[in-house]
């Protein structure tokens, strides 16, 4: 166990160092402020989001995307972050929207964050999986990547896959493949549910809370409306993000993900029989990887 954690730490540090070599200027070119203008500092490839008792803050991408790889370096709120949520996700609009989530739920000082993942298709979610980080997400920047293609959605942390949602549309499971999604980043107060089910509230004496981001990289097909479904699908078939190496995890990636899920996953909707009263979502009975 200790050896595996040491290996993961070494891999994470190598991945972050590699990322820093490619830092460019993308936030100010590709993002707009959606709320909390006075709490957003966005310059070049740097983004800071602030939360205090008056307001939180959020930005979103100008463009929407259909398939590709979206990555960002994030340093989460340090210290007593209980009640706060730093969100990084893809989403379309409307009641039947698609969405792919990373949400980072804060905690009291010395207690671990929760990495909350979810996916919505046609407006329906309830597919949460949660993890404890095997590193301190507040003492430096870590890479969080959402890889999305016609075969699967994969959530990566510092290059390590932690979760997969495969395309079982032919078996009747909706899959997000017909709506372009924009990229959102936000910092907000959710002390009614975020920390221990809302039992631990935000300590406003610790404000302002600050989350920092670097290197927004959308390596993806730009969405131009329904007519671009075939265009993005054709581009995807010819592009790197749907090559065999990205259509299914390698044996090494699978082994690493399974170890992460064994050691650090704290909630899996596919194991919550009480919640679904024994009628589990259909994808839970299918191969997860």
Q: Which domain holds residue 254?
A: 2-285
What value does the mean pLDDT take over residues 55-65? 96
The pTM for the full model equals 0.88
pLDDT higher than 90, residue 208: yes
pLDDT at residue 241 is higher than 60: no
Number of domains in the chain: 1
Average pLDDT of the residues in 207-220:
94
pLDDT digits (tens, 9 = 90+) for 4-57: 444 443 344 333 333 333 333 489 899 999 999 999 999 999 999 999 999 999
Torsional class of 67: left (φ above 0), alpha (ψ -120 to 50), beta (otherwise):
left
pLDDT digits (tens, 9 = 90+) for 220-235: 888 888 767 777 777 6
Compute the half-sphere exposure of residue 210: CA atoms within 13 Å on the CB side of its CA. Answer: 10
**pLDDT, tens digit, 9 for 90 and up, residues 132-180:** 999 999 999 999 999 998 889 999 999 999 999 999 999 999 999 999 9
Q: What is the CATH number of the domain that holds 40?
A: 2.60.120.200
Give catalytic residue positions: 99, 103
∠ CA 170-175-176, nearest 5°, is 145
């Amino acid at each position: 166990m200790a050896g595996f954690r040491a290996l993961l730490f070494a891999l994470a540090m190598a991945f972050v160092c590699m990322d820093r070599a490619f830092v460019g200027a993308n936030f100010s070119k590709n993002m707009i402020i959606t709320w909390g203008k006075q709490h957003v500092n966005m310059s070049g490839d740097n983004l800071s989001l602030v939360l205090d008792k008056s307001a939180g803050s959020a930005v979103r991408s100008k463009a929407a995307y259909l398939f590709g790889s979206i990555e960002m370096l994030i340093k989460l709120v340090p210290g007593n972050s209980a009640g706060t949520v730093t969100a990084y996700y893809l989403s379309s609009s409307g009641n039947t929207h698609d969405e792919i989530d990373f949400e980072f739920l804060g905690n009291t000082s010395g207690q671990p964050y929760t990495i909350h993942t979810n996916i919505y298709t046609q407006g329906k979610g309830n597919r949460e999986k949660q993890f404890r980080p095997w590193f301190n997400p507040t003492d430096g920047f870590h890479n969080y990547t959402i890889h999305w293609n016609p075969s699967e959605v994969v959530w990566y942390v510092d290059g390590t896959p932690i979760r997969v949602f495969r395309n079982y549309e032919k078996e009747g499971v909706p899959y997000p493949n017909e709506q372009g999604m924009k990229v959102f980043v936000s910092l907000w107060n959710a002390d009614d549910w975020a920390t221990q089910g809302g039992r631990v509230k935000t300590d406003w004496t610790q404000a302002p809370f600050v989350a920092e981001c670097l290197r927004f990289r959308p390596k993806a097909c730009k969405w131009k409306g329904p007519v671009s479904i075939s265009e993005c699908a054709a581009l995807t078939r010819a592009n790197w993000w749907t090559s065999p190496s990205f259509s299914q995890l390698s044996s090494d990636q699978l082994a690493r993900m399974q170890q992460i899920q064994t050691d650090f996953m704290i909630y899996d909707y596919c194991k919550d029989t009480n919640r679904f009263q024994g009628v589990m979502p259909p994808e839970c009975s299918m191969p997860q990887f």
